[in-house]
């Protein structure tokens, strides 16, 4: 039976109010086919207004351009369907609950342009001409979420060096240690600058800050996206190299050390070196907490510094690969 989905023309006031509302509004039936959508709704989804009556929500808003079958919206098993904030909201409302200021993410595509948007969503059941339907009211908060993400990123950084601060570093290490992978390995390294107090005393604290900043810049260029790098405290930094053994970790540290020393020797005629403790976790390693791992590399670092400048110590012994 064909549905009667047109507004009663006697309700001109409410019809105009609905269409012209500056807040996005869409009304769908229980199969997620669109009954009404106002102009603001199309603007929010970067789509052009056109007749979408009886269309599935996904078809109307171009989910098909994401490779999703939109003939029966909400029944697909793609990742887009499973994570669709609107579909999850409709399911919740169909079970009899209200949606009150819920935050949802929606992936949309228009003219081959993919975009993820965030909305503050309100929704409820209603009846129109004896037909059950669902009303969704939404406000675009994408800019707010992006600013929030940016601020969280700033809060996770050590402002002096641009690396992770200690809080974020510890959180990342805990997450890595608790990961359930049992077939991989990773190396944790702690470095500390040699005679850093003497550098500060002789050349000033601004020079000391420059050393830390330059080191962090060089380090970030030598690590991979999934590696962990952050400031542990003072002039101590920690690396976690994923799926890398002891030898490979030491090679990375050597490259960082060589570039750093070369930079300060050439530009300032000052020798800047650091020492390191390195410990690798693999299948044969007894399960250790993140605090135990940090204690191990801290102990190895202490031993390295006690033997002189520019060297690393690991459980397999001293590695004199760094320039003295």
pLDDT of residue 223: 94
Strand, helix or coil at 261?
helix
CATH topology of domain 9-147: Beta-Lactamase (3.30.450)
Closest CA to 52 of 38, 40, 31: 38
Beta strand residue intervals within the chain, DSSP E: 24-29, 34-37, 99-110, 113-128, 131-140, 186-193, 228-233, 236-242, 274-281, 312-314, 317-319
User: Could you tell me the residue ranges of all domains in the chain?
Assistant: 9-147, 156-319
CATH topology of domain 156-319: Alpha-Beta Plaits (3.30.70)
pLDDT of residue 304: 92
Model-level pTM greater than 0.85? Answer: no
Closest CA to 134 of 178, 175, 96: 96
pLDDT of residue 50: 67
Phi and psi at residue 254, in whole multiples of 5°?
-65, -40
Each residue's pLDDT expressed in tens, for the chain with a length of 324 residues: 233 445 455 556 566 666 667 788 888 887 788 888 888 887 776 666 667 777 777 777 766 666 655 555 655 566 767 777 777 887 888 887 878 888 888 777 655 667 788 888 888 888 877 888 888 888 888 888 888 887 777 777 888 898 999 999 999 999 988 875 545 789 999 999 999 999 999 999 999 999 999 999 999 999 999 999 999 999 999 999 999 889 999 999 999 999 999 999 999 999 999 999 999 998 777 888 899 999 999 999 999 999 888 999 999 888 765 444
Instruction: Decide if 124 contacts 101 (C-beta within 8 A).
Output: no
Domains 9-147 and 156-319 share a fold: no
pLDDT of residue 2: 36
Closest CA to 116 of 125, 104, 126: 104
pLDDT of residue 269: 94
State the burial class of residue 247 (Cβ atoms within 10 Å of its Cβ: 0-12, 13-18, 19+). Answer: middle
pLDDT of residue 319: 75
Strand, helix or coil at 42?
helix
């Amino acid at each position: 039976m064909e549905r009667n989905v047109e507004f009663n023309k006697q309700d001109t006031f409410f019809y105009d109010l609905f269409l012209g509302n500056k807040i996005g509004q869409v009304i769908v039936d229980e199969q997620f086919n669109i009954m009404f959508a106002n102009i603001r709704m199309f603007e929010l989804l970067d789509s052009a207004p056109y007749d979408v009556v009886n269309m599935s929500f996904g078809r109307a808003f171009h989910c098909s351009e994401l490779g999703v079958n939109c003939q029966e919206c909400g029944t697909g098993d793609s990742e887009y369907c499973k994570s669709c904030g609107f579909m999850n909201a409709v399911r919740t409302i169909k079970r009899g609950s209200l949606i009150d200021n819920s935050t949802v993410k929606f992936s949309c595509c228009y003219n081959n342009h993919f975009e993820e948007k965030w909305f503050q969503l309100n929704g409820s059941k209603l009846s129109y001409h004896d037909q059950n339907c669902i009303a969704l009211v939404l406000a675009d908060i994408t800019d707010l979420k992006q600013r929030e993400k940016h601020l969280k990123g700033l809060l996770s950084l050590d402002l002096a060096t641009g690396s992770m601060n200690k809080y974020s570093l510890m959180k990342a290490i805990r997450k890595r240690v608790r990961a359930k992978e049992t077939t991989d390995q990773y190396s944790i390294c702690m470095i500390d600058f040699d005679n850093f107090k003497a550098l500060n005393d002789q050349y000033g604290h601004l020079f000391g800050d420059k050393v830390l900043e330059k080191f962090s810049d060089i380090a970030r260029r030598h690590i991979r996206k999934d590696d962990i790098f952050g400031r542990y405290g003072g002039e101590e930094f920690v690396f976690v190299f994923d799926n890398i053994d002891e030898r490979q970790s030491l090679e990375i540290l050597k490259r960082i050390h060589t570039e750093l020393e070369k930079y300060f020797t050439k530009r300032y005629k000052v020798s800047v070196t650091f020492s390191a403790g390195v410990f690798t976790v693999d299948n044969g390693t007894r399960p250790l907490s993140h605090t135990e791992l940090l204690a191990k590399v801290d102990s190895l670092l202490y031993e390295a510094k006690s033997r002189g400048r520019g060297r690393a110590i690991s459980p397999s012994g001293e590695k004199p690969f760094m320039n003295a």
